[in-house]
Amino acid sequence: MPRLKQFLVVTDLDATLLDSTYSWAAAEPALRQLRAQGVPVVLNSSKTLAEMEALATALDLNSPIVAENGGLVALPRGNGHMPGCLLDDSLAYSIDIRGLPRQTLLQAAHALRVGEGYRFKGFADWSTAELAELTGLSAKQAEASGNRLATEPILWEDTEVNRLHFAKALARQGIRMLRGGHFWHLMGDADKADGVQAVRAFYEAKAPETAWQVLALGDSANDTAMLEAADIAVVIPHAEGPRIDPKGVRVVHAPYPASAGWNAAILSILEAPGEPDTRGAL
Ligand SMILES: [Mg+2]
C-alpha cells in the first residue's frame, strides 16, 4: 500500500510571502487552498518569534515557526512536543534553540569587548526607544525585534582589522559573525535549512504513515540552503529576475515577485498531475 503523500510548505517572508507593503493578500487563494487540503505552512525567517507570532495568528497557522534564521524552532503549545524542547512558561510556544542561546553569544562578545577593548554596540546595549531610533521601527516593532533568543545584531565601531580578530575569537567558540544590511549578526551555526530538517522531523514523528514532501519558497541568498533541503524549491524572483539558483532539487520558478508569485507557484504545483493527493484522497 503506498504511503499517503502530503505537502509541507516552508516559506521565507520578506519578498517571498510578503510584498513590500508587508501584505500577503495576493497569496490568499493559494493559502485558502492549502488550508482546505490540510497542508501545514511553516514560516521560516530571520525575524524574531515575537515579530512572526502576529503573522502566524493572522494566517490562522498552528504549525511550528522557524525564527532568527534557523536559530530556533517554536512549536505552538497544544501541538505536541518536539524532542529537546526547552519549555518556557512565559511563552505560548515551546522553544528549541537550534543554534546558540543569545546569552552565550552575549557573554562571549562582551568578554572580548571588556578584555580586548573592541568597540561595538548591540541590541542588548540599547533601550527599546534607542533601538526604535536606530532602526526606524515603531516602539512596538522595536520591542518585538529586540526580543531575541538565538542571535545578536551589533554595530561595529572599530577597525576592520580588529573586526577580523574579533570574528576569529568568536569562531573559536562556535559563533558566526554575518553581515546583514545595517548590522552584523552574531549567531551559532544553525541556518534556515536546519529549520526545514526540524519541521520535517516533527511532522514525520507526528504522522509517520505520511510521505511528507517539503515545498520551500524563498527569494534570496540566505534561502538557498533552505530550498536545497526541500523536495521542491520555489524560487521567487525580484523585478529584475531570480537572485538564487538552488541545486539538487526540483526547482520551480515563480512567474512574479513576492506574494503574487507565491500564489501562482503554489496553485500550479497543487494542480499539477502526479502531485501528492490531498489528505484522505487515497
Ligand atoms: Mg526574503
CATH number for the domain that contains residue 59: 3.40.50.1000
Q: Which of 159, 187, 215 is the last residue of a domain?
A: 187
Above 70 in pLDDT, residue 118? Answer: yes
Asked whether residue 79 falls in the same domain as residue 137, the answer is no
Provide the residue range defining the domain that includes 137. 102-187
Structure confidence by residue, pLDDT tens digits, 74-113:
987 765 544 444 445 445 778 999 999 999 999 999 999 9
| pLDDT tens column, 41-52 | 999 999 999 999
Identify the domain boundary among 128, 158, 187. Answer: 187
| pTM confidence score | 0.88
CA of 236 relative to ligand 1 center, distance in Å: 9
Q: How far apart are the first and last CA of the chain?
A: 10
Q: How many domains does the chain have?
A: 2
**Spacing, Cα 162 to ligand 1 middle (Å):** 31
Same-domain pairing of 93 and 138: no
Render pLDDT for 139-189 as a digit per residue (tens, 0 to 9): 999 999 999 999 999 999 999 999 999 999 999 999 999 987 789 999 999
Query: Ligand 1 centre and the CA of 43: distance in Å?
Result: 11
Do 180 and 168 belong to one domain? yes
Do 197 and 245 fall into the same domain? yes
Same domain as 212, residue 126: no
58: CA distance to ligand 1 center in Å? 19
Based on the fold, state whether residues 12 and 80 are members of the same structural domain: yes
pLDDT at 280 over 90: no
